[in-house]
Structure 1
Amino acid sequence: MEFVREYWLLILIAAAILLVAAFLLFRPRQRVQLSQDSAPIRPHMQAPQKGHESHGFASEAAAAVGDVGGQIIGGEASHDLHASSGPPDDLTRLKGVGPKFAAMLNDQGISRFEQLARLSEADIERIDQNLGAFRGRIERDQILLQADYLQRGDIDGFEQRFGKL
């Protein structure tokens, strides 16, 4: 008892430190789901869509048969650029895409961020052959990654990675 009388202030300070440490260790943490490129999917953003086409099983089967049939008979497989519905996006919002480059992408059938974000390597090579002076810009300027951020509506993530829009 004599120990408590002499060191009551020290005991009180130690108890306060323990309470603060316990709070810091056991407080609830925020849960953040990460997307494929490790950018957080924030609650106010729409979730990324899976797959290239969402037209149902019959459409998927028809596309697969057409692609395989084209390879068997030696013809080109379909080069549908995963057309999406809705108004065209302003592709000039992407860093490195000006009006001329955007017009060339539109000529290739690309008018939405969603389409750019879903391009395959084969699609990129085919499109790149027709870009003239802009050849290689899709990969060099990370156009697909930029388009992925914008099609998800992740303006904050885009600006953190690529700068202000």
Structure 2
Amino acid sequence: MFEPLDLQTPQLAVGLGFVFAIAGAAILAHATWRRRRLQAWAAGESRRFEGTDSRGERPDAPRDVRIETIAGLVALLLGTAGIVYGMVGQEQQNAVLESNTIAKYPQVQEVEPQEWHGNLLEAEVTTVDGERLPVRILFDSETGEPTVQGDHPELGIQE
């Protein structure tokens, strides 16, 4: 009757996406600096880079810079893909939690997630009468079944 929720994958994908995106940007910045250094040495303007190491003087340095640029672009692409995947997954998760809540509590028309605490969601629900209520909803990790915590007679729940 209820769809299970995946509470970890979207957040993990976004977190790893940010790590890869930041690493990719750093790699690209370094590759750009190395490329500019090689161009300066080739043009005889090495004074701008005095005191730096001589790695750029090796014959295979331009190839290394190309590989570094490609690695940076790949890491940036992976990071962006992870962030997009996580955001889409989060939107799907919100749709599933709303449909599960509406299936169990037909008085609920809309669920607006606020903050997660493990399997407990603090949310604001809109009833069919248009009333907005702050509630705490506990989701079963196996089945996705929601249970509204507290006394809410407007939802048909009294403890």
Same fold per TM (> 0.5)? Answer: no
Greater strand proportion: 2
> When the two structures are superposed, what TM-score results if normalisation uses the length of structure 1?
0.26
> When the two structures are superposed, what TM-score results if normalisation uses the length of structure 2?
0.27
Larger RCO (CA within 8 A; separation ≥ 6): 2
